[in-house]
Chain A
């Protein structure tokens, strides 16, 4: 039996998982339209690869991964692209982003898919395949998985699969593990191979005994070696990557250090599943399991194509009167969607229909009484009451020295606060403000550099001009005393110089002739035939190109 470790703090919010966890995953019916954002991942936005009016197939690339850190985006079903424009997306800001709108044709026609033998593939090719398949972390961070599955510099010994799912209401990973355990484990094998990791630890909170059972059974049935399914105690936020690593291995990742430096790498179980689908079935990431719960008549998990509008998805679970909004994610870390028409994205693990009765408006925040209950609950060992103080007074430098950026925004502090202070919102405000200032500082530094260089350049140009002017004047002065008469000697000297120049030119020409290409002479008949053939081909291509260009005119 493995000894488990504990992380600091935590909270025990009501889990509310049973409403949706008992029913199997249902394939969501095709919606009337799909609104697929091209920026669903961490990194650069994908570049549109289709045009309005084009017919696309299910799994066809509609956004090409651009730059090192990026991921491809695909059509979730077959249909016609009707728009590529700025549309409101599932983001707390409520702002618009570039989206591809597809009207499904109902045929659900796949592109050609190819199953690959991952054991025979080089690692770089495998990583490229994942990038092209748009595989990103499905735990919520949507970080491109190919970037995380890179173990050159660091020695990774332990691959951790995160099936803890600590956030209340969400049961998508639970259902996935119960129903598709074998494929999750096969995906884990691919990941382990990429990371050269020795062991795979699968952490599942002990409030999901069926999932633990299913995973253990699949491990035995699939004859997986060096894997272990471990039940971890149910404490929020036990599903945080750092927290789960701590519980399973006892390793505490220090501030500012990556977990890979400590020899561990953590992935969500859903990511492992989509890695397997991409490698073994050639299916890019075009759908995911989403829990639809809250104020609906039939809370359950759906397999949802990306881009499906939230209102159409919620309607399939049964709309109920009194819904006044939707939360994406859980009640602790999720955010209220700006509109019910936004499309489901790769980060959408749960949609909660809110009602007044289920989510009453937060009571007004009272002054902080410095009870330090938040510090007791903080899983990152921070002092939220101090961070709150600094954030409130916009003392960002001080907040940073108190390790604001180690805050994982889990919301445990806000949950336990007896004064109902929305602590996390203050921390989020501080973080985004610090980021903005850093950005401003960088652009100011760049502007200073450019300005200084311009000053230097102008100074240099001025000097050069003066120099030139002076040289000109000098030359003019030197040329002034024109000789009155030209002597015979001088004429001789001139003709001599002319002759010398002529000789030099002739020599140069002779040299050029000597170095001319020699591969056009003394050819065998075969070589000549080959050349003739190539020439003929060139002529044909030219002709084709010409006719191709002229065709549209007719």
Chain B
């Protein structure tokens, strides 16, 4: 009887120690699901979802407080991926929130007055310039989030759709339709 109790309590102590140790050793900061969701999101940091960036939206999704169809830059495919990841049904985009073709911002350098407001608005530091100096977009880093457009006091920023070039050209899905026999 006593041996049994001793054995059981020894086991309990050992296992408790192991569990306690692993809880400290393998501690994960935050919700790991949020990281997975964040990896799927397009990282435009545009805030169209109503959250201040992709990471906060991912965290809201992980908590289950946000809808999955709030990310137009990710496209329908992105929504499908989110649905799969979260185990929920696919939802189409609402009216007025359809995905737009990819674009980059463009600063009309003749009009720019060098106020730095757009630089402060850019979430990925893709605008160079300084006070009273001309600003310009680093096109390769621009995510097309449009956050720099409203703050400009002289309306010199426009969004330009990315044109297809030979280097970015994608082959189309082959479509062959069967012709009905007359």
Please give the residue numbers on chain A whose beta carbons come within 8 Å of chain B beta carbons, in ascending order. 39, 89, 91-93, 95, 97, 364-366, 394, 422, 425-426, 428-429, 431-433, 436, 439-440, 443-448, 450-451, 453-454
Does B114 touch A at the CB level, under 8 Å? no
B contact residues around A454 at 8 Å (CB)? 123-125
Tell me the bound Cα distance from A480 to B173 in angstroms. Answer: 77
Q: Which residue of the partner chain, among A429, A445, A453, contacts B174 with CB atoms under 8 Å?
A: A429
Given A364-B176, A448-B54, A451-B123 in contact, is the A91-B42 Cβ separation under 8 Å?
A: no
How many A-B contacts are there with CB distance less than 8 Å? 71
Given A422-B176, A425-B171 in contact, is the A95-B166 Cβ separation under 8 Å?
A: yes
Which residues of chain B from 165 to 182 have a CB within 8 Å of any chain A CB? 165-166, 168-174, 176-179
Does B38 touch A at the CB level, under 8 Å? yes
Does B141 touch A at the CB level, under 8 Å? yes
Given A364-B179, A425-B174 in contact, is the A451-B124 Cβ separation under 8 Å?
A: yes
Please give the residue numbers on chain B whose beta carbons come within 8 Å of chain A beta carbons, in ascending order. 38, 41-45, 53-54, 123-126, 141, 143, 164-166, 168-174, 176-179
Least distance between B39 CB and chain A CB atoms (Å): 8
The chain A residue with its CB closest to the CB of B163 is: A95
The 9 closest A-B pairs by CB, nearest first: A444-B43, A447-B43, A450-B124, A93-B169, A425-B174, A432-B171, A365-B176, A448-B43, A429-B171
Least distance between B165 CB and chain A CB atoms (Å): 7
Least distance between B92 CB and chain A CB atoms (Å): 19
Q: Is B166 a contact partner of A39 (Cβ separation < 8 A)?
A: yes
A contact residues around B177 at 8 Å (CB)? 364
The chain B residue with its CB closest to the CB of A439 is: B168
Q: Is A451 a contact partner of B43 (Cβ separation < 8 A)?
A: yes
A-B contacts, 28 of them at CB < 8 A, read A93-B169, A95-B165, A364-B176, A364-B177, A364-B178, A366-B178, A422-B176, A425-B171, A429-B173, A432-B170, A433-B170, A433-B171, A436-B168, A440-B42, A444-B41, A444-B42, A444-B43, A445-B43, A447-B43, A447-B141, A447-B143, A448-B54, A450-B124, A450-B125, A450-B126, A450-B141, A451-B53, A454-B124
Tell me the dominant secondary structure on chain A's binding face.
Answer: helix
The chain B residue with its CB closest to the CB of A367 is: B178
The chain B residue with its CB closest to the CB of A366 is: B178
Tell me the bound Cα distance from A520 to B15 in angstroms. Answer: 84
Q: Is B166 a contact partner of A97 (Cβ separation < 8 A)?
A: yes
Q: Which residue of the partner chain, among A91, A446, A451, contacts B166 with CB atoms under 8 Å?
A: A91
Q: Is B174 a contact partner of A426 (Cβ separation < 8 A)?
A: yes
Tell me the bound Cα distance from A365 to B174 in angstroms. Answer: 11
B contact residues around A93 at 8 Å (CB)? 164, 166, 169
The chain A residue with its CB closest to the CB of B120 is: A458
A contact residues around B126 at 8 Å (CB)? 450
Q: Is B124 a contact partner of A436 (Cβ separation < 8 A)?
A: no
Tell me the bound Cα distance from A136 to B153 in angstroms. Answer: 52
Tell me the bound Cα distance from A451 to B42 in angstroms. Answer: 12
Tell me the bound Cα distance from A547 to B47 in angstroms. Answer: 59
A contact residues around B166 at 8 Å (CB)? 39, 89, 91, 93, 95, 97
Tell me the bound Cα distance from A429 to B174 in angstroms. Answer: 8
B contact residues around A366 at 8 Å (CB)? 178
A contact residues around B41 at 8 Å (CB)? 444
The chain B residue with its CB closest to the CB of A457 is: B125
Least distance between B111 CB and chain A CB atoms (Å): 26
B contact residues around A394 at 8 Å (CB)? 173
Tell me the bound Cα distance from A514 to B89 in angstroms. Answer: 83
Which of A92, A443, A444 has the largest number of chain B CB atoms within 10 A? A444
B contact residues around A364 at 8 Å (CB)? 176-179
The chain B residue with its CB closest to the CB of A448 is: B43
Tell me the bound Cα distance from A366 to B166 in angstroms. Answer: 32
Q: Is A95 a contact partner of B43 (Cβ separation < 8 A)?
A: no
Tell me the bound Cα distance from A397 to B42 in angstroms. Answer: 19
Tell me the bound Cα distance from A448 to B55 in angstroms. Answer: 9
B contact residues around A450 at 8 Å (CB)? 124-126, 141
A contact residues around B172 at 8 Å (CB)? 429
The chain A residue with its CB closest to the CB of B74 is: A444
B contact residues around A446 at 8 Å (CB)? 141
6 new A-B pairs (CB below 8 Å) besides A433-B171, A454-B125? A93-B164, A95-B166, A429-B172, A432-B169, A447-B44, A447-B141
A contact residues around B168 at 8 Å (CB)? 436, 439
A contact residues around B53 at 8 Å (CB)? 451
Tell me the bound Cα distance from A429 to B177 in angstroms. Answer: 17
Tell me the bound Cα distance from A440 to B164 in angstroms. Answer: 14
Least distance between A337 CB and chain B CB atoms (Å): 14
Q: Is B165 a contact partner of A448 (Cβ separation < 8 A)?
A: no
Tell me the bound Cα distance from A144 to B41 in angstroms. Answer: 38
A contact residues around B123 at 8 Å (CB)? 451, 454
B contact residues around A428 at 8 Å (CB)? 171
Least distance between B83 CB and chain A CB atoms (Å): 16
The chain A residue with its CB closest to the CB of B174 is: A425
Tell me the bound Cα distance from A549 to B64 in angstroms. Answer: 70
The chain B residue with its CB closest to the CB of A45 is: B167
The chain B residue with its CB closest to the CB of A364 is: B178
The chain A residue with its CB closest to the CB of B41 is: A444
Tell me the bound Cα distance from A428 to B173 in angstroms. Answer: 9
Q: Is B164 a contact partner of A95 (Cβ separation < 8 A)?
A: yes
Tell me the bound Cα distance from A535 to B102 in angstroms. Answer: 60
Tell me the bound Cα distance from A451 to B38 in angstroms. Answer: 13
Tell me the bound Cα distance from A425 to B176 in angstroms. Answer: 11
Tell me the bound Cα distance from A183 to B169 in angstroms. Answer: 39
Least distance between B182 CB and chain A CB atoms (Å): 14
Tell me the bound Cα distance from A394 to B170 in angstroms. Answer: 14
Least distance between B102 CB and chain A CB atoms (Å): 9
B contact residues around A365 at 8 Å (CB)? 176, 178
A contact residues around B44 at 8 Å (CB)? 447
Tell me the bound Cα distance from A187 to B140 in angstroms. Answer: 42
Tell me the bound Cα distance from A364 to B175 in angstroms. Answer: 10
Q: Which residue of the partner chain, among A95, A439, A448, contacts B38 with CB atoms under 8 Å?
A: A448
Least distance between B74 CB and chain A CB atoms (Å): 10
Tell me the bound Cα distance from A484 to B163 in angstroms. Answer: 75
B contact residues around A444 at 8 Å (CB)? 41-43
Least distance between A440 CB and chain B CB atoms (Å): 8
B contact residues around A91 at 8 Å (CB)? 166, 169
Tell me the bound Cα distance from A422 to B154 in angstroms. Answer: 53
Least distance between B34 CB and chain A CB atoms (Å): 13
Least distance between B27 CB and chain A CB atoms (Å): 21
The chain A residue with its CB closest to the CB of B42 is: A444
Q: Is A422 a contact partner of B174 (Cβ separation < 8 A)?
A: yes
B contact residues around A422 at 8 Å (CB)? 174, 176
Least distance between B180 CB and chain A CB atoms (Å): 11
The chain A residue with its CB closest to the CB of B173 is: A429
